[in-house]
């Protein structure tokens, strides 16, 4: 189960998903700026979400987006 910080990142990506359509792609720098966490904490949270399959990243690890499972978790209160 994601931590509160990880869930907040999922919610941020889900908002982008709903606004722009799936899969809700955001640059990592945009996530860091919006997450209200230290950059290192945000990057660690993204890494954790990636490892459990809720977030995917591009090959260069410069943008992140939700998997369908990640979207479901983000929509869960």
pLDDT in tens, the chain (77 residues): 789 999 999 999 999 999 999 998 999 999 999 998 899 999 999 999 999 999 999 999 999 999 999 999 999 87
Q: Look up residue 47 and give its two tokens.
A: 């890494």
Q: How many domains does the chain have?
A: 1
CA–CA separation, 77 and 25 (whole Å): 22
Q: What pTM was computed for the model?
A: 0.91
**Strand 26-27 relative to strand 63-66, pairing:** antiparallel
What's the distance, CA 75 to chain centroid?
A: 13
CA–CA separation, 42 and 4 (whole Å): 12
CATH number at residue 12: 1.10.10.10
| DSSP-derived 3-state class of residue 61 | coil
Domain interval for residue 8: 4-75
């Amino acid at each position: 189960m994601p931590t509160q910080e990880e869930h907040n990142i999922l919610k941020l990506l889900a908002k982008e998903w709903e606004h722009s359509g799936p899969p809700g792609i955001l640059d990592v720098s945009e996530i860091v700026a919006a997450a209200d966490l230290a950059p290192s904490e945000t990057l660690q949270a993204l890494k954790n979400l990636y490892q459990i399959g809720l977030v995917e990243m591009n090959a260069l690890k410069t943008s992140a987006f939700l998997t369908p499972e990640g979207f479901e978790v983000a929509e869960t209160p």
